[in-house]
Structure 1
Amino acid sequence: MTEHQLPPLNALRAFEATARHLSVKNAANELCVTPGAVSQLIKTLEVHLGVPLFRRVNRGIFLTDVGQAYLPPVRNAFRQISDATCRVAVPEDTGILTVSATPFFASAWLVPRLKSFQDAHPDIDLQVVSSSALADFSRDGVDVAIRHGLGRYVGLSSQRVLTVEIVAVAAPALVKRLGMPETPAGLTRWPRVNDAERKAWALWFEAQGIESTGPARGPSFDDSGLLLKAVLAGQGAALLPAAVVADDLAEGRLVQLSDVSWLEDFAYYLVYPENSHDRPKVAAFREWILSEASRKAASSRKRAGRGGKGGRGPRQ
């Protein structure tokens, strides 16, 4: 087959995405086209090759033997194109670095610390975009992302930035009015601010061996940033990540209500394509954020100087 007989690129993309997901619908969502368009592209490729690439059984699809043999070189070709593009498009450690972060992490932890990165790397201009969805690095123009999860992302590199230690906090005015609780059980009588699912407090009390306090009462928020604002406004006690409220605690805007804390299964991870690991801008940001997270965690422990840390509790 000569180069003029190569299959259409869009048909190959549809084949690779469908083979990866084993779903026409999921492939269509990834490629931003309709399932019908994906099916037509696959049919075009099968006609071009003269062989079927998928078997359709009931409502599922599976690769034929030919499809299984065809997939690795097609996937490798796309990877080589991607690697070559990165090498050509990013020749030096200058320009814009686009960082995608969850809204709460961006506002409560990342943005207040960015000046130190800019001081260390004045030739790199950061562009921070907030999103809770996993970035599509091939289409969104995102260089690195910070996501809350277990750190397992297929085809992506990830490094743990922050382990999510959960602490009970409240505004000083509320503590002054109600008095500091002597035990975690004392918080059962406090007004409380809740997460969207209204489960965090029940799990926290359960981790301390405290009997059920009944249905969760008080306001709830589906955004941790809004929840933090409600706590700062004195609307109630809340459970929030220790790392992102460390400055508020140190500067007296919040008070930690109990020495007891517990760790979520989830953590914040720095995520980026595997082929971006050695890109100068990505390496610079990775080194900075991991160093900053480590430094802040050590500083927070030193400032707190408090023992009584509880065991690992259930995940929020």
Structure 2
Amino acid sequence: MQPARILSLETAVPPHRATNDEVKAFARSVFAESLAGNRALDRVFDSSTVEERWLAMPVDWYAADHGWAERAGAFEPAAIALLADVAGRALAAAGVAAAAVDHVLCISTTGFAAPSLDARLIGRLGLRADVRRTPVFGWGCAGGVIGLARAADLARLEPGRVVLCLVVELCSLAFRPDPEPVNVIGSALFGDGAAAAVLCAGPGHEQRPSLVASGEHTWPDSLDVMGWRIDDVGFGLELRRDLPAFLAARLRPVVDGFLDGCGLTIAGLDGVVGHPGGPKVLQAVEQALGLGPAALADSRAVLTRYGNASAAGVLMVLRRAIDRGARGRHLMLALGPGFTAALNLLEL
């Protein structure tokens, strides 16, 4: 199977920057009635390791009650603006004209639109009227890894086919002023972001990073580990408290099986591109895979700078690894609703 090459990868964040202190102060004011004097809130924020994140809306917007209509009304223009920016830069970096794109894969689990976001981008980006489109909802934090894998599959169907993979996640729009512990954790960890990658298979791009293999594993009876519940307010985060323990106990055999199919072991990797899900998740992945303290340094740096931007987060980590000159065989790993481990083998 010929490798699909990543011709370019760009990331973007929305315009509203918020420091950890600002978000913590906001959370204190919103949750004050239920959590006044409760040091648990401060502990959650102080241990998150997130120093800043970027939000789709100004911080004050989140203090008011918002239902489905207002959240959807905020999602669509913010998502389109981010995707138009990041896609334009990715195409320019790849040296590919928008009219040369054959397929657009557009991924988000924090909002949706009909017509879909990719349809709304055709005129704005200058894509062909006959461009093929695949909008995807529901992969959650695994969407960056699975999205690259599906884009690579599409690129391999025909040499020279150009695939534009788009990811946008506006996690902040799901914020709820409900002091349920999962909402406090979500407000401490999540941020917003987007990414775009241009992929192509065939000769002529041998010096670009390649996606060599991909895999997924969905554990039986694990649908309640993470996901969204949907009600009149909008999305509500669901996250099982024992997620780190789940990973520590079950992740290693899945990764070993995937790498064995590639003729590799964890020791034979040159690096790991891990989704920046949170400090406890990263620690659990390190423990499960027997990684050294520096193996997930890029993931921790992205978490500190941007928070957990769901599916866009692991692509931010990949961009950071490429920018610092990482080379060789890298495992790309993220976890999402299902409960699913998504894995790619990259040659950087």
Higher RCO, Cα 8 Å, sep 6+: 2
TM-score normalized by the length of structure 2? 0.25
TM-score normalized by the length of structure 1? 0.27
Q: Based on CA coordinates, which of the two structures has the bigger radius of gyration?
A: 1
